[in-house]
Amino acid sequence: MSQTPNIVRSASAGSTSNVVRANVVRSSAVTPSAVTPSAVTPSAVTPSQRRAQQLDPTDSTWWRNAVVYQIYPRSFADSNGDGVGDLGGVISKLGYLELLGVDAIWLSPVMRSPMADHGYDVSDPRDIDPLFGDLAELDRLVADAHSRDIRVAMDLVPNHTSVEHPWFAEALAAGRGSAARSRYYFRDGQGPDGSAPPNNWVSVFGGPAWSRITEPDGTPGQWYLHLFAPEQPDVNFDNPEVVADLEQTLRFWLDRGIDGFRIDVAHGLAKAPGLPDMDLDTAIVLRHTDSDPRFNNPQVHPIHRRIRAVVDEYPGAFTVGEVWVDDNAQFAAYLRPDELHLGFNFRLAMAAFTVDEIRGAIDNSLAAVKAVGAPPTWALSNHDVYREVTRYAPDDSPEGIAIGTDRARAMLLVELALPGTAFIYNGAELGLPNVELPDEVLQDPVWERSGHTARGRDAVRVPIPWQGDTPPFGFSTNPHTWLPMPPEWAALTVDAQLDDTYSTLALYRRAIELRYHRDEFSGDAIEWYGAPKGCLAFRRSKGKLVCALNTGPNPVSVPPGDVLLTSKPFVDGRLPGNSAVWLVSRKQET
């Protein structure tokens, strides 16, 4: 398997305010019948009671078994009418997130940035970009989230800066061999006039990974390395100033009450010594292998130890690294007790809707962390990879997308039944598919860098529909949202789904709530049950929960037990195709 963001099969396919809506109800009771749809049924537990039961502020290992909701801020909610989401928008929706029941949010980057890669090009890592708000607004967000027992993680981008970071301007001005250039990878070019790049590396976004600068005296000069866009020069962690600055950034946010970090390109912070040529046969846009000299070099581990030492000064804070590493032993090395707390394992987000692929991804992800005692992580999608509805859809027709939705609902039950930490990408809880966008609105640098051969990730970043019948669906007061929203999303808005007890949103709320409340969701391991062809079933080994998934088209019988939740109503007492069920085993625990 290759390991980098794998979006990119070409794209297919209000004031829901923070007031908890009275007509939405909850329950933690087992539904006794064997034929149970995914309806939300009443309960006396209020959201704050529920949260208080779920999260103990003194629990420093909450992240081992959490539900973390990823917010892509420019697409979540726009509070100032510029058509781009912002921190004020996030604050206005915290009640919604409380209602959803998540433990934590992860904000994709909101630091100062010229937005060449929508915030993953940071010009000041210790400030908020005005597009999103300011530090005071972030403080308000953190305080409000904490008052609802929702923790807040930020995206940290240590691998590269923006070309607008003061360090880069200093490096350009300072000249060859200077201390300022040694914060980055500046090298002379090859050939008599240095006009060929220093090595053959290509950028993850397409095109060469090197750009040539003009020296202060106006002559063609050195080259600098950028594994991503030219606006994202890679920093050199061999320079002690670089890691010291990162430590300062970590403390800056942790002191403000931030609860952790998602670490961008965590496996790429160190490059192979000497920068040897790469194997160009393996070079595909947005992909790479474990042996690629651009990534996964042993020198990365001391950097993670430095990060961990700082984060450990703040009990309860955590890190989750973007670790696109295939080999389990090498993946586990990032999760040793003095490195990352969590590592994203993307196997489930890459798996097709087949028993072999899903089971293989689960077994492999569990095995990968076992040796180091770290919890597994699970994600079905994120801002870089296909939305699960589209990924599981047999085709992009409305019927195909309906099947994709059924499968995505089923996979939510699989994901949340597993031990470890689950990540939900904003909009997944609404069953949003990818959006087929016209060429002229595409903004992902991948589109240009790949010479218009890869459409990039915009299809999964279209703003969230909150309410109403027409775009922009309460996302903004501005009809010109940064990416256009499809009119067909009227049926998928938060408001429409809150009123529908069979909606995908209702399923998410119910599943998250049960996962928190029920003792059946305990134990660090799973055991597989025998299952008919096209099905899989597993049991949490210390709990009595059984999760059964039917990937086939026809209904099947399920193991004995009381039905806790189904992704689709049973048919004649059987689990329909493209659906999953949670059952509580009637057998006594031995």
* Percentage helix, strand, coil for the chain under 3-state DSSP, each rounded to 5: 30, 15, 55
Least CB distance to ligand NOJ at residue 550 (A)? 33
CB distance 532 to 542 below 8 Å:
no
Contacts to ligand NOJ by CB under 6 A: 117, 120, 157, 228, 264-265, 322, 383-384
Please tell me what DSSP assigns to residue 127.
Answer: E
Least CB distance to ligand NOJ at residue 4 (A)? 8
Cα 270–Cα 276–Cα 282 angle in degrees, nearest 5 = 90
Least CB distance to ligand NOJ at residue 93 (A)? 22
C-alpha Rg value of the chain to the nearest Å: 24
CB closer to ligand NOJ out of 383 and 510: 383
Fill in the amino acid letter for 406.
D
Least CB distance to ligand NOJ at residue 228 (A)? 4
313 classed as catalytic:
yes
Query: In angstroms, rounded to a whole number, what is the distance separating the alpha carbons of residues 340 and 94?
Result: 28
Give me the catalytic one of 134, 215, 313, 519: 313
CB-based contacts of 429, cutoff 8 Å, min separation 6: 100, 504, 505, 508, 509
Least CB distance to ligand NOJ at residue 315 (A)? 28
CB closer to ligand NOJ out of 383 and 517: 383
Query: In angstroms, rounded to a whole number, what is the distance separating the alpha carbons of residues 509 and 498?
Result: 10
Using the CB atoms, write b or e for 313-348: b if 16+ within 10 Å: ebebbbbbbbbbbbebeebbbbbbeebbbbbbbbbb
Closest CB to ligand NOJ: residue number: 120
Please tell me what DSSP assigns to residue 426.
Answer: T
Least CB distance to ligand NOJ at residue 179 (A)? 25
Alpha carbon separation from 506 to 71, 101, 284, 510 (Å, rounded):
19, 11, 39, 6
Query: How many CA atoms, within 13 angstroms, populate the side-chain half-sphere of residue 109?
Result: 25
Place of tokens 């076992």: 370
Q: Which of 417, 438, 410, 415 is nearest to 425 (CA)?
A: 415
CB distance 75 to 461 below 8 Å:
yes
Least CB distance to ligand NOJ at residue 116 (A)? 10
CB closer to ligand NOJ out of 322 and 415: 322
Query: In angstroms, rounded to a whole number, what is the distance separating the alpha carbons of residues 304 and 286?
Result: 23
Alpha carbon separation from 378 to 152, 316, 408, 418, 526 (Å, rounded):
19, 20, 14, 8, 14
Give me the catalytic one of 103, 264, 384, 406: 264
Which residues are identified as catalytic? 264, 313
